[in-house]
Structure 1
Amino acid sequence: MCAQCRAPGSRIDWYAAGAPDTLAGRRTARTELAAVATRQLAPLGLRVDAHPGSMTLAVRSATGRTVVVTRLDELADAVRALTGRSVDPLEPRR
C-alpha cells in the first residue's frame, strides 16, 4: 500500500477492470468513476470528485459537507451520512 495516497500496490478495484495496472490507469479509472457517480447522485444533490494526486474520492453535498472515501463500496455509506437516505446501487432507476 502506498503510504502517501493509501492506494493498494497493484490491486485494481473491480470498477477499474480493463484499466492498465499502473498508477495512471487507476487514477483515470477513479476519475471516470467520479464522473459516473456524480451523474447518478445528482438527483440527491451530491457530487463526487476524484482528488488530484490521490486515490480518494470526495462526496460533497450542496451545502458543502464532504465525506472522503477510498473505495467504491464506501460511497453508499457516504450518501447515507450526507443525505440520511439509503441507496442501493443495484436498484434499477425509474
Structure 2
Amino acid sequence: MASKHTAIEPLRAWDGAVPLLMSLAVLLMIASELLRYGLHAHHVNDLADHIAQLLMFGQIPIMFWFAAPGSRRVRQILPTLALQLALWAITFALAVMLT
C-alpha cells in the first residue's frame, strides 16, 4: 500500500532540512553579533565568519541535490526549495549588509 505524500515530506528528508538548519544557524550567528556589537561595530574577520561562510556555501550542493530530478515531483518539493532559497538569500543579504 502506497503512502500518501504530504507537503511536509520534503522537509523530513535530509536534503530538504539540512539547508534550512544551516541558514538558521547563520541567522543565529548574525543575531548574536548584532546583540553583542550593534549595527555600527567594527567587524573583525574571525572563526565565526569562516564557519558562517562554510555553512552558507555548503548549502549550494545540497540544494542542487535536493532539486535534482528523481522520483520526487516538482510540485511536492517546490515549497521547500523556495524556503531554502529565501532563507539563503536573506542570510546572505544580512551578512553582506553587516560587513
TM-score (structure 1 length as normaliser): 0.32
More helix by share: 2
More strand by share: 1
Q: Which has the higher contact order (CA 8 A, sep 6+)?
A: 2
* Larger radius of gyration between Structure 1 and Structure 2: 2
